[in-house]
């Protein structure tokens, strides 16, 4: 297979039509059909089936789709590095962010990238640490912010922020950082927490077990939005970084108090794979990301966070 076949395959998958794919690629429809036939001959299986809705991916097509996207992105990044526009850094970069701080970081990050490197095309993916680790390993993302990743030769990690976890409940409970709570407070109301083996769930269960605190679960969910919705409807309290509920606190919906125990302090790291070479665009984008985290944490806008990275902005 060659790059023309990959582009053709992706265009058909995105449009659901050989005719529309031809328009997108600015070639004639018979050329699209020929490239697809050559690709199907190479892989030894049909990649599409036709129905009333157009051209739908077969099982083989679904298997090829994600890998083809990654392959094309890598080829385009290599091309940009080999033949860059003079004076400009360009290319595609995919960064992973955590759900709790994603909303806080996205707008400043995109704005800073557009000002510093307008030719970089950035894609932002949001997921929990375990998901982000898998995406880093598979090459779906180029770098990510992670909570306390285990030491691994496959990752270059830099600590950026230390963040405290809070007990979060309805505003009527009257939680406040002026009165930090002990681990015992986690046993006073049902909890809405992520499902096992999520790291936050493991942290809460282990800390409570060590402290001899019995906890009950109101519900389990791996969606931050659902977690907050259940708390808002009075099903229980939860544990999360204060920044994740700052808007709800400001609107008078939630209240939060820092959990006064060392086990409930977590560090956020910038992680970059060592198993593949980072492009110039990736290195520039991660520098901008690190600067954004530093500026927001040091400004006080990131509630419950303390900058622990370098005292000066990275070059």
Query: How many domains are contained in the chain?
Result: 3
Per-residue pLDDT, 256? 96
If asked whether residues 157 and 278 sit together in one domain, one would say yes
If asked whether residues 194 and 126 sit together in one domain, one would say no
Per DSSP, the residues of 104-161 read: HHHHHHHHHHHHH-TTEEEEEEE--HHHHHHHHHHTS-SEEEEESPPP-TTEEEEEEE
Q: Does 314 reside within a domain? A: no
| Two structure tokens written together for 111 | 């704005």
Instruction: Tell the residue number behind the tokens 């033949």, with chain if given.
Output: 83
If asked whether residues 180 and 122 sit together in one domain, one would say no
Q: Does 14 reside within a domain? A: yes
Q: Does 312 reside within a domain? A: no
If asked whether residues 103 and 224 sit together in one domain, one would say no
> Residues 148-157: pLDDT tens digits?
999 899 999 9
If asked whether residues 19 and 78 sit together in one domain, one would say yes
CATH of the domain at 250: 3.40.190.290
| Consecutive H or E run containing 191 | strand 191-193
| Consecutive H or E run containing 162 | strand 155-170
Identify the segments of the chain with pLDDT beneath 70.
77, 79-87, 312-315
Mapped onto helix, strand or coil, the DSSP state of residue 136 is: helix
Chosen domain end from 48, 82, 116: 82
Q: Does 228 reside within a domain? A: yes
CA distance 27 to 22: 5
If asked whether residues 172 and 258 sit together in one domain, one would say yes
If asked whether residues 168 and 146 sit together in one domain, one would say no
CATH of the domain at 37: 1.10.10.10
If asked whether residues 173 and 260 sit together in one domain, one would say yes
Per-residue pLDDT, 84? 53
If asked whether residues 259 and 166 sit together in one domain, one would say yes
Q: Does 141 reside within a domain? A: yes
Domain of residue 292: give its range: 91-161+267-307
If asked whether residues 27 and 75 sit together in one domain, one would say yes
Mapped onto helix, strand or coil, the DSSP state of residue 188 is: coil
Q: Does 313 reside within a domain? A: no
Identify whether 314 is preceded by a cis peptide bond (ω within 30 of 0).
no
Q: Does 20 reside within a domain? A: yes
CATH of the domain at 107: 3.40.190.10
| Two structure tokens written together for 267 | 């560090």
If asked whether residues 153 and 286 sit together in one domain, one would say yes
If asked whether residues 201 and 77 sit together in one domain, one would say no
Per-residue pLDDT, 247? 92
Q: Does 133 reside within a domain? A: yes
Chosen domain end from 82, 99, 121: 82
Chosen domain end from 45, 65, 82: 82
Per-residue pLDDT, 52? 81
């Amino acid at each position: 297979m060659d790059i023309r076949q990959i582009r053709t395959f992706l265009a058909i998958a995105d449009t659901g039509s050989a005719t529309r794919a031809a328009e997108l690629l600015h070639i004639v429809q018979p050329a699209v059909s020929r490239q697809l036939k050559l690709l199907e001959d190479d892989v030894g299986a049909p990649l599409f089936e036709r129905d009333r809705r157009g051209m739908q991916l077969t099982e083989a097509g679904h298997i090829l789709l994600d890998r083809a996207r990654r392959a094309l992105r890598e080829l385009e990044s290599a091309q940009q590095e080999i033949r860059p526009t003079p004076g400009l850094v360009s290319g595609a970069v995919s960064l992973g962010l955590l759900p709790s701080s994603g909303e806080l970081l996205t707008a400043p990050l995109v704005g800073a990238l557009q000002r510093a490197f307008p030719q970089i095309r950035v894609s932002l993916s949001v997921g929990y640490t375990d998901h982000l680790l898998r995406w880093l390993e598979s090459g779906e993302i180029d770098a990510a912010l992670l909570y306390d990743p285990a030491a691994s030769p496959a990752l270059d990690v830099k600590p950026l922020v230390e963040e405290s976890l809070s007990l979060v409940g309805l505003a009527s409970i009257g939680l406040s950082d002026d009165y930090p709570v002990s681990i015992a407070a986690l046993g006073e109301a049902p909890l809405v927490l992520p499902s096992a083996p999520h790291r936050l769930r493991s942290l809460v269960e282990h800390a409570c077990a060590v402290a001899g605190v019995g906890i009950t679960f109101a519900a389990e969910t791996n969606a931050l939005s659902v977690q907050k919705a259940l708390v808002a409807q009075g099903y229980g309290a939860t544990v999360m970084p204060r920044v994740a509920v700052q808007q709800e606190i400001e609107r008078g919906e939630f209240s939060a108090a820092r959990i006064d125990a060392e086990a409930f302090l977590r560090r956020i790291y910038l992680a970059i794979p060592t198993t593949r070479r980072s492009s110039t665009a990736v290195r520039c984008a991660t520098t901008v990301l690190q600067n954004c985290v530093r500026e927001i944490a040091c400004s006080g806008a990131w509630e419950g966070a303390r900058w622990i990275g370098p005292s000066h902005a990275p070059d």
